[in-house]
Amino acid sequence: MTDAELLALFRLAESDRVERKENIANSDRIRQAICAHANDLPNHHETGLVFVGQRDDLACAGLNIDDRLLQTIAGYRAEGRILPFPTMSVRRATFDGCPVAIIEVEPSDNPP
pLDDT digits (tens, 9 = 90+) for 1-13: 899 999 999 999 8
The 18-21 sheet, strands edge to edge: 18-21, 48-52, 98-105, 88-95
Each residue of 51-92: pLDDT tens digit?
999 999 999 999 999 999 999 999 999 998 888 899 999 999
Q: Could you state, in order of their start, the residue ranges of all structural domains in the chain? A: 3-105
pTM of the model: 0.94
pLDDT one-digit tens code per residue, 12-37: 988 899 999 999 999 999 999 999 99
The answer to whether 93 and 1 have CB atoms below 8 angstroms apart is no
The hierarchical CATH code for the domain 3-105 is 3.30.950.30
Distance CA 31, CA 111 (A): 13
Using an 8 Å Cβ cutoff, are 14 and 20 in contact?
Answer: yes
Q: Report the C-alpha gap between 112 and 110 in whole angstroms.
A: 7
